Structure 1
Amino acid sequence: MPDLLLELFSEEIPARMQAKAADDLRRMVTDKLVAEGLVYEGAKAFATPRRLALTVHGIPARQADLKEERKGPRVGGADAAIQGFLKATGLSSIEEATIQRDPKKGDFYVALIEKPGRATLDVLAEMLPVVVRTFPWPKSMRWGKRSEKPGALNWVRPLHTIIATFGLETEEPDVVSFAVEGIEAGQTTYGHRFMAPAAISVRRFEDYEAKLLDAKVVLDPDRRKDTIVTDAKQLAFAQGFELVEDQVLLDEVSGLVEWPVVLMGSFDPEYLKVPGEVIRATIRNNQKCFVVRDPKTGGLAPKFILTANIEATDGGKTIIAGNERVIRARLSDAKFFYETDLKTRLEDRLPKFEQIVFHEKLGTQAARIARIEKLAAEIAPLVGADATKTGRAAKLAKADLLTEVVGEFPEVQGLMGKYYALAQGEDASVAAACEEHYKPQGPGDRVPTDKVAVAVALADKLDTLVGFWAIDEKPTGSKDPYALRRAALGVIRLILENHLQLRLSPILRQASLGVLQALATKEVAAFAAPVSEIAEISQSPNLLREIIDVIGKERTAPSEVSRVVEGVNVALKDLLSFFADRLKVQLREQGARHDLVDAVFALGGQDDLLMVVRRVEALGKFLETDDGKNLLAGTKRASNILSIEEKKDKRKFEGAPDAALYKLDEEKALAKAIGEVAAEAGAAVAKEDFAAAMRAMAKLRPAVDAFFDKVKVNDDDAKIRENRLKLLNEIRSATRAVADFSKIEG
């Protein structure tokens, strides 16, 4: 079957847009082909700095003929219905329709519509201009004589030529006949801008790709990447170095060149006194070059690797010299910034945060740092961290944001804090926390293990979450401008991967104290009660009145303070639910069942995430056994019966059953088993031995099975019925020692 070749040749396309543009081109064309009934065999798109290209293989030469039966009105029906039927089907008269007999509903008209398929070449001629005109560039421009007129083409850069050919591999292809803004589709493209700028005539994809290669254009981005990495590694290895690989930079560089030529330059070893990350950021950001490592020392070597887009006649000497000149100037700036930063201690920078607003409702950066410092001190003993070091780390952790180096290269924030902390003689744990308190910032990011760093990282993230929840700036849908989902997952990973047994509720309540102070200051006139005085507002109305007395009744109304406090309390409850949702996402990615997480959280008060995970793991293993499956079935049966009967009677069957009303041995056996199991499972849960709790639960199974086999729950005697329903409620209550079985699927 025929193949399609499409190329859109333009001025340089920004590297960051190329991969998505190639994917969009493939998707738009193939979606339209399928919508036209033209099912293809395969498609692949490509991008270089000056072109988007697409090849689609195995497209039918024409659409299939369409035959469709369309049911119409009943014979003898209203004239308006018949006329509408004729218009919709294209029939000139009702005699052209057939009559279909239906003994039950009566006879009705049927139209047989035959629509011959069109040639694919004609379909493409209509379809491809629409693709070009509606292409979803994130940024585009209009140009040319018609640029100011309605309907002018918007394209990322001026479009020069279009290739569009369609045909069999064994025949000369046809050119798809269409034009966009006066640019007619044809068979002509151009090679490398400098090394092979002449026009090239192509027929189909195979000779198109080959001729471009001869014209110094590597069409496939993956092939360009492979060339850059391979040549860079070999060049570094030849001089005894190792390439510091950088996938993001590689993706960008491969989008800047059509004919990659890898060269090596050097810089003054004097600049190696600057931290390696700063050197790398300088060279990467300003010149899009890679750095190399000395395997003997593990540090950077005074070399860099650049990717040119031309085979220079002088072997690249001029290109290398130009890059060296720019990099020398940039490294000189970086060295100056670094040495200037070292002259000021981190703590001496902190007063400037008083003038920097973190959020208009949450106060300044200085206030936020104070909140983190206080919260980190509360968390420190819970994670085994030294309180003094933790306080010091929390105080200094954000200070590097005000340094010259971080101002120039924001991506090294935290890291520079570590270097400056070490340079001024801070403890290693304090320095580590300055760098690692931002971590983890994503699913692939490393989780801190230093206890001081863990305490500060938790405080930083929890203060952010509590603050934005309190002002109702929660994530909505796909929008999460403050990266709160990432912060919550960071807290979860910090807790789980460090095996920390922490109850979140008290920590969140502690975090809310500083937030309450900030909100009250903003929202309640002259409210300035110390944090210590509002510590238990949410639990003590009397204390609330006392605080109002302390700050003066004439200065603020109790209702105003209550409003702020109640808003924060509601936010904290919602935030715990958010943690449950994020934990479900995390566990689901690890293969756990989300319904088991629901079953554990449904118990209430489950704010120890590590214990939740251990419960979920034990519950999952238990439900894989026959005892677990059967007990689940029995418990669900009991819950279903209770739900029906409670709805019918409009009451709950709570309270202990009356042993004197047991008539059958199975009732007695079940009651005895429930008592024994509840005590044993409860003791196991208290010891946090959830596997033992599940083993205890398994002992219920025989008694539950026997009960449902032999006992009629809805006995004719109302007292017996009520007693048996209470016994079913005991089953439900006993299993809730480990989980709410009603939330478990299956």
Structure 2
Amino acid sequence: MTDFLLELRCEEIPARMQLKASDDLARLFTEELAKSGLTPGSIDSFVTPRRLALIARDLPLETAAVSEEHKGPRTSAPPQALEGFLRKTGLTQDQLEDRGGIWFAVVNKPGRATAEVLAQAIPAIIRAFPWPKSMRWGAASQTTESLRWVRPLQGIVAILGEQLIDCEIDGIRSGYATLGHRFHHPAEITIGGAGDYAQKLRACHVIVSHHERQAIIADKAAQAAAAHGYTVIEDKGLVAENAGLTEWPVPLLGDFDPVFLEVPPEVIQLTLRINQKYFVLRDSTGKLAPAFICTANIDAKDGGAAIIAGNRKVLAARLSDARFFWEQDRKTRLEDHAKKLERITFHEKLGTVADKVERVAKLARWLVEEGIVTSGTLSLEGEGRVRVLELM
């Protein structure tokens, strides 16, 4: 039994696709090996912005011999039926067995070297990979038969024990070499096998575990916030997204002009989270703090001062835009905005959007007056209905 390492290195994979791609790689690998009767003891999956990888543990060095039995036509069937059955099984008539007037074929398949199975499986997995969006590149992209991948595929590492699994797809041949962090260690790294893969990449500023990067971001962001008397507003989705944007995450705390806090907190949170991928902070009173946490992908020599300054400058421009549009919106009353709905058709048989709003308002009021929705016992659905009523 031995372990197998597979790494598929490419240009940056979108953060939203990474975790599913990691699961898909493990699934396709398992399915492809199962066709040859191979089952790994366990599979560890890894993903970073620049690589998909897995380690399949406890693989046998060769598959077991298999004996397959195939039922054929009756012995009294026309010769054409027998000829077709012989072509299918690859046997001759004297190798068939007559069992009660029916031909049976017993095909014995000897065991195959696991290295041979893997060499065939890897290109099949790459070509069958179910990316939500993929692309072609280079001169080969002139034909629809060329390789498709989420971003240009650049390298393959495939090692069984210490043996290189030699395979090639669209001019990309497997090897022992991969790359470290884009800035901290852009040179090639020679991987010896599954045993030293994660350790060698960590030494070159790449943490291959997505879940470990998430934990680092969450912990260090909380520590940075606490050092300034703040707390981080919990956002697991943003933690996962930042882990998908970095191979060596370094959370950094910056601040912005408190004058922007005049804008509604929801607007500030939206700007920080959606536009900038920043974590939002609260002060000791529970109010929004004039600060943010961004996640760098490097250990900066200046401690991140230049990175924070750059992010502060970009955020100031974003918040200035948000404040401008907020102030513009306040110049027109909601009642005046509502009148514009009379000019928008909702449905030719149901009237305008204004008509729809009026119907929803009446329904919401009826739900409350009939006691179907009460303030004391609200389900999540009920809370939504009350909010609709309040907005109407």
Give the structure-1-normalised TM-score. 0.50
Partner of 1:278: 267
Partner of 1:355: 343
C-alpha distance in 2, partners of 1:312/1:68? Answer: 61
Aligned partner letter, 1:336? F
Partner of 2:247: 258
Higher relative contact order (CA 8 A, sep 6+): 2
Q: How does 1:271-310 map to 2 (within 5 A)?
A: 271-295=260-284, 297-310=285-298
1:116 maps to which of 106, 110, 113: 110
Q: Secondary structure at the match of 2:239?
A: helix
C-alpha distance in 1, partners of 2:73/2:280? Answer: 77
Are residues 262 and 133 of structure 1, via their aligned partners in 2, closer, same or farther at CA, if it must alter by over 3 Å?
Answer: same
Please state if 1:456 is matched with 2:389: yes
As a proportion of its length, which structure holds more strand? 2
Percentage of identical aligned residues: 48
Of 109-118 and 126-135, the range deviating more from structure 2: 109-118
Aligned partner letter, 1:160? Q
- Is contact 2:373-2:382 (8 Å) kept? no
C-alpha distance in 1, partners of 2:351/2:249? Answer: 51
Q: How does 1:423-502 map to 2 (within 5 A)?
A: 447-448=382-383, 453=386, 456=389
- Is contact 1:69-1:112 (8 Å) kept? yes
State the Cα distance separating 1:303 from its structure 2 match: 0.9
- Is contact 1:379-1:455 (8 Å) kept? no
Partner of 1:514: none
Q: How does 1:59-70 map to 2 (within 5 A)?
A: 59-70=59-70
Q: Secondary structure at the match of 1:350?
A: helix
State the Cα distance separating 1:360 from its structure 2 match: 5.2
Aligned partner letter, 2:138? G
1:165 maps to which of 140, 159, 162: 159
State the Cα distance separating 1:334 from its structure 2 match: 1.7
Aligned partner letter, 1:87? R
State the Cα distance separating 1:40 from its structure 2 match: 1.5
1:317 maps to which of 291, 300, 305: 305
Q: Secondary structure at the match of 1:147?
A: helix
- Is contact 1:385-1:455 (8 Å) kept? no
C-alpha distance in 2, partners of 1:455/1:446? Answer: 11
Q: How does 1:203-602 map to 2 (within 5 A)?
A: 203-295=192-284, 297-359=285-347, 362-383=350-371, 447-448=382-383, 453=386, 456=389
Larger-gyration structure (1/2) = 1
Are residues 278 and 195 of structure 1, via their aligned partners in 2, closer, same or farther at CA, if it must alter by over 3 Å?
Answer: same
2:120 maps to which of 122, 126, 137: 126
- Is contact 1:383-1:455 (8 Å) kept? no
> CA deviation digits over 1:144-163, x for unaligned, max 9?
12111231111111111111
- Is contact 1:164-1:186 (8 Å) kept? yes
Aligned partner letter, 2:383? P
C-alpha distance in 1, partners of 2:180/2:344? Answer: 53
Aligned partner letter, 2:120? E
Partner of 1:90: 90
> CA deviation digits over 1:386-407, x for unaligned, max 9?
9xxxxxxxxxxxxxxxxxxxxx
C-alpha distance in 2, partners of 1:117/1:359? Answer: 67
State the Cα distance separating 1:319 from its structure 2 match: 0.5
Partner of 1:709: none
Aligned partner letter, 2:234? E
Structure 1: tracts of 5 or more residues without a match: 101-105, 168-172, 387-428, 430-438, 461-746
C-alpha distance in 1, partners of 2:388/2:183? Answer: 57
Partner of 2:55: 55
Q: How does 1:32-43 map to 2 (within 5 A)?
A: 32-43=32-43
> CA deviation digits over 1:646-699, x for unaligned, max 9?
xxxxxxxxxxxxxxxxxxxxxxxxxxxxxxxxxxxxxxxxxxxxxxxxxxxxxx
Are residues 349 and 45 of structure 1, via their aligned partners in 2, closer, same or farther at CA, if it must alter by over 3 Å?
Answer: same
Aligned partner letter, 2:13? I
Q: Secondary structure at the match of 1:146?
A: helix
State the Cα distance separating 1:345 from its structure 2 match: 2.1
Aligned length: 390
C-alpha distance in 2, partners of 1:245/1:306? Answer: 14
C-alpha distance in 2, partners of 1:132/1:273? Answer: 52
Q: Secondary structure at the match of 1:129?
A: helix
Q: Secondary structure at the match of 1:448?
A: helix
C-alpha distance in 2, partners of 1:339/1:25? Answer: 49
C-alpha distance in 2, partners of 1:258/1:303? Answer: 24
C-alpha distance in 2, partners of 1:74/1:453? Answer: 73
Structure 2: tracts of 5 or more residues without a match: none
State the Cα distance separating 1:143 from its structure 2 match: 0.9
Q: How does 1:591-740 map to 2 (within 5 A)?
A: none
> CA deviation digits over 1:273-307, x for unaligned, max 9?
22222111111122111111112x21011111110
2:148 maps to which of 154, 165, 170: 154
State the Cα distance separating 1:349 from its structure 2 match: 1.1
Q: Secondary structure at the match of 2:290?
A: strand
> CA deviation digits over 1:552-607, x for unaligned, max 9?
xxxxxxxxxxxxxxxxxxxxxxxxxxxxxxxxxxxxxxxxxxxxxxxxxxxxxxxx
State the Cα distance separating 1:92 from its structure 2 match: 2.4
Aligned partner letter, 1:120? T
C-alpha distance in 2, partners of 1:79/1:453? Answer: 78
Q: Secondary structure at the match of 1:337?
A: helix
Are residues 113 and 346 of structure 1, via their aligned partners in 2, closer, same or farther at CA, if it must alter by over 3 Å?
Answer: same
State the Cα distance separating 1:73 from its structure 2 match: 4.9
Give the structure-2-normalised TM-score. 0.92
- Is contact 2:159-2:194 (8 Å) kept? no
C-alpha distance in 1, partners of 2:251/2:353? Answer: 45
As a proportion of its length, which structure holds more helix? 1
Aligned partner letter, 2:182? R
Q: Secondary structure at the match of 2:106?
A: strand
> CA deviation digits over 1:690-741, x for unaligned, max 9?
xxxxxxxxxxxxxxxxxxxxxxxxxxxxxxxxxxxxxxxxxxxxxxxxxxxx
